C-alpha cells in the first residue's frame, strides 16, 4: 500500500501541471496512467502537431509541451505508474483506498481525475465473431513474438505498427498485410521495405480489403476478407493482428458513483471538486458552465484543485498563498539555489 496525499489519475498535460501545483504547496502525489508514457493526448495523438495557444509559448509541439512539463516537475521526484489503470476506489474514514488493474494499492486523502476523454484502448475489429478469439489468436498488440514462428499471420492496418510488425514477423512467419486502401500512412522507408519484401515473395499485400467474417470454434479455421468491389476472398490463417490505432474510453471511472453529464464529470468552479468530497476532476474530463476544452483551462483547474486537496491532506494546517518568486518554502521544494 502506497501512502500519499493525492492520487492523480492521468499523466496528460493537465495532470502533469497539477503535479507541479501540488508540489509547490507541499503535497505528495502519485500518478497513474494507462499509457506507457507521459503526455496523454499530446503525445499519443499529436506529438508532432504544433500548438499555438499555450500562454507565453507562441508555438510548440505536443511532444515539446510534454517534455517541458516533465522538466518543470522534476524537483518533486514524483512516481509515475504507467501502463496501469485505476479500477476501484473506496472511501475509508478520511481516506480513499485505490486499486489498480495491476493490483497496486494506494491510500490518499484526495483523488484528482485528469483523465481526458478516458483511457486509451486499441480499436478492435468490428466483426462480432472476433470477440471469442481476442487475446488468443486475434491480438491488438504483440507481447511475445515467438508464438508466430512458422505460422501464418494476417496483419490488418496501414500505419507504422502494421508495417513494422509485417517487416519483423516476415522473418519467421508467413505474413499477409491487409489494408482498406492502396496508400499506407506509415513512414515511407517502411512502406518501401514492405513492398520489397512483397517482391521477394516474403509478404503478401492485399489492399482495398477489410475483414468480413471468421469461422472456427476454439481456433480460427478460416477468415474471409471483402474487397471494395464486393468480392470475397478466403484466407487460411493462424493469427490475426489488428492495428487500427487507439480510442478513448471512460472505463471504470463511470462506476465510481460520480455524477456524469454525458462523458464528463460536473464540478464546481471554486476548487473543481465533484459530488464526492475529496475527488476532484480537471481538464477535458470535467464540465461546468462555460467550460472550454483548452490545455490552459486545465492548468488553471489543476492549480485550484491542488489547493482544494490541501484541507484533506493537512486538516490542521492553513494553506498560505505564496508567490514562487519570493516564497522560501517554494524555493526549497523546487530546490532553487540561492
Partner 1 sequence: MSKITYIETSGKTHVIEVANGLSVMEGAVQNDIPGIDADCGGAMACATCHVYVKEEWLDKLPNKEDGEEDMLDMAYEPSKFSRLSCQLTVSDELEGLVVKLPEKQS
Q: Which residue ranges make up the site for partner 1 (CB under 8 A)?
A: 41, 45-46, 49, 117, 123, 126, 157-159, 179-181, 183, 185, 210, 228, 244-245, 247-249, 284, 293
Cβ nearer to partner 1, comparing 157 with 308: 157
- Shortest distance, CB of residue 117 to partner 1, whole angstroms? 5
Residues 6+ apart with CB under 8 A from 198: 204, 205
- Closest Cα partner for 18 from 3, 30, 35, 34? 30
- Shortest distance, CB of residue 246 to partner 1, whole angstroms? 8
Cβ nearer to partner 1, comparing 107 with 249: 249
> Where do we find the cell 466483426?
127
Cβ atoms within 10 Å of 104's Cβ, excluding its own: 15
Cβ nearer to partner 1, comparing 94 with 181: 181
Strand partners, 33: none
- Shortest distance, CB of residue 48 to partner 1, whole angstroms? 11
Cβ nearer to partner 1, comparing 54 with 319: 54
- Shortest distance, CB of residue 106 to partner 1, whole angstroms? 28
- Shortest distance, CB of residue 253 to partner 1, whole angstroms? 14
Helix 13-24 with 295-313: angle, nearest 10 deg: 40
336 burial level (CB within 10 Å; 0-12, 13-18, 19+): exposed
Cβ nearer to partner 1, comparing 73 with 214: 214
φ, ψ (nearest 5 deg) of residue 41: -60, -35
- Shortest distance, CB of residue 58 to partner 1, whole angstroms? 19
Q: How far apart are CA 60 and CA 49, in angstroms?
A: 8
Cβ nearer to partner 1, comparing 164 with 273: 164
285 burial level (CB within 10 Å; 0-12, 13-18, 19+): buried
CA distances 72 to 20, 124, 175, Å, are: 7, 37, 45
Amino acid at each position: 500500500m502506497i501512502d500519499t496525499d493525492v492520487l492523480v489519475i492521468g499523466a496528460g498535460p493537465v495532470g502533469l501541471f497539477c503535479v507541479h501545483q501540488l508540489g509547490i504547496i507541499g503535497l505528495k502525489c502519485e500518478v497513474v496512467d494507462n499509457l506507457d508514457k507521459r503526455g496523454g493526448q499530446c503525445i499519443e495523438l499529436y506529438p508532432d502537431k504544433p500548438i499555438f495557444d499555450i500562454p507565453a509559448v507562441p508555438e510548440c509541439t505536443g511532444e515539446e509541451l510534454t517534455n517541458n512539463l516533465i522538466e518543470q516537475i522534476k524537483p518533486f521526484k514524483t512516481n509515475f505508474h504507467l501502463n496501469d489503470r485505476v479500477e476501484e476506489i473506496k472511501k475509508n474514514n478520511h481516506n480513499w483506498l485505490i486499486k489498480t488493474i495491476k493490483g497496486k494499492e494506494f491510500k490518499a486523502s484526495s483523488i484528482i481525475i485528469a483523465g481526458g476523454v478516458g483511457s486509451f484502448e486499441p480499436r478492435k475489429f468490428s466483426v462480432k465473431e472476433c470477440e471469442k478469439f481476442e487475446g488468443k489468436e486475434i491480438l491488438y498488440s504483440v507481447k511475445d513474438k515467438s508464438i508466430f514462428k512458422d505460422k501464418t499471420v494476417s496483419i490488418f492496418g496501414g500505419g507504422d505498427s502494421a508495417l513494422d510488425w509485417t517487416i519483423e514477423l516476415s522473418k519467421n512467419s508467413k505474413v499477409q498485410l491487409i489494408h482498406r486502401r492502396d496508400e499506407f500512412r506509415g513512414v515511407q522507408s517502411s512502406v518501401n521495405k514492405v513492398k520489397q519484401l512483397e517482391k521477394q515473395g516474403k509478404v503478401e499485400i492485399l489492399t482495398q480489403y477489410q475483414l468480413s467474417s471468421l469461422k472456427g470454434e476454439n481456433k480460427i479455421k478460416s477468415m474471409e476478407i471483402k474487397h471494395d468491389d464486393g468480392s470475397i476472398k478466403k484466407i487460411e490463417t493462424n493469427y490475426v493482428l489488428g492495428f487500427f490505432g487507439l480510442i478513448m474510453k471512460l472505463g471504470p471511472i463511470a462506476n465510481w458513483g460520480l455524477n456524469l453529464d454525458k462523458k464528463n464529470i460536473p464540478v464546481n468552479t471554486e476548487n473543481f471538486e465533484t459530488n464526492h468530497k475529496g475527488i476532484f476532476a480537471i481538464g477535458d474530463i470535467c464540465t461546468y458552465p462555460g467550460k472550454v476544452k483548452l490545455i490552459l483551462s486545465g492548468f488553471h483547474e489543476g492549480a485550484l484543485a491542488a489547493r482544494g486537496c490541501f484541507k484533506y491532506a493537512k486538516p490542521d494546517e492553513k494553506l498560505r498563498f505564496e508567490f514562487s518568486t519570493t516564497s522560501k518554502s517554494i524555493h526549497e521544494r523546487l530546490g532553487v539555489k540561492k
